[in-house]
């Protein structure tokens, strides 16, 4: 007998409840950020977003895990965030380009860095010479932790 039992954490079950309740609404996109344990409702329309913000809890506690619930108006999602990245990296040779792509209710913004291996001395044991070798995109992912709808990438050489 081949039983494929799949277990979900309580917070994933809680997310699935949000997805079931709001997932068929064409004006709402429900997502879960596993890293920050945040349920995000991207809502098209300020009135609906404001109403949901008033009635939904801001967090739910599961033992030592806290799940945050965030309502984000779609028209406010990263409208200025990508402009901030553009301004912050203006003239910086680490940046290759920035691109926004429409993805349903919200824009997906890509900050694309130069295709270069970055190496610096790092006082740890992962490299025999004490160096850290990485890409700009990996550094950005570590530094800019909570950037909703912004993805960090590395430029691919084109022939």
Of 54, 73, 92, the residue at which a domain comes to its end is: 73
Shared domain check, 87 and 51: no
Shared domain check, 95 and 56: no
What tens digit of pLDDT does each residue of 9-40 get?
A: 889 889 989 988 888 888 888 999 888 999 99
**Are 139 and 145 contacting, i.e. CB atoms less than 8 angstroms apart?**
no
According to DSSP, the β-strands at 65-73 and 38-43 are parallel
What tens digit of pLDDT does each residue of 52-95 get?
A: 989 899 999 999 999 999 998 876 554 457 777 888 788 888 89
| DSSP line for 81-148 | HHHHHHHHTTT-TTEEEEEEEEETTEEEEEEEE-S-EEEEE--SSSSTTSEEEEEHHHHHHHHS---T
Shared domain check, 144 and 86: yes
Neighbours of 154 (CB within 10 A): 16
Place of tokens 């926004």: 100
1 within domain boundaries: no
pTM of the model: 0.52
Shared domain check, 137 and 88: yes
Question: Domain containing 34: what range?
Answer: 10-73
- CA–CA separation, 53 and 104 (whole Å): 21
**Are 99 and 109 contacting, i.e. CB atoms less than 8 angstroms apart?**
yes
2 within domain boundaries: no
Band (97; pLDDT cuts 50, 70, 90): very high
Band (142; pLDDT cuts 50, 70, 90): confident
């Amino acid at each position: 007998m081949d039983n494929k039992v799949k277990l979900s954490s309580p917070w994933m079950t809680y997310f699935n409840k949000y997805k079931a309740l709001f997932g068929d609404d064409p004006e709402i996109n429900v997502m879960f950020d596993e890293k920050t344990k945040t349920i995000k409702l991207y809502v098209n329309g300020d009135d609906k977003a404001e109403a949901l913000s008033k009635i939904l809890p801001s967090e739910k506690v599961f033992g030592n895990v806290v799940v945050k619930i965030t309502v984000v108006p779609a028209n406010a999602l990263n409208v200025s965030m990508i402009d901030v990245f553009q301004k912050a990296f203006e003239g910086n040779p680490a940046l290759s380009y920035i691109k926004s792509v429409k993805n349903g209710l919200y824009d997906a913004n890509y900050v694309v860095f130069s295709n270069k291996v970055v190496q610096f001395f790092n006082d740890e044991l992962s490299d025999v010479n004490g160096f850290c070798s990485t890409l700009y995109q990996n550094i950005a992912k570590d530094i800019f932790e909570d950037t909703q709808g912004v993805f960090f990438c590395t430029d691919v050489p084109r022939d």
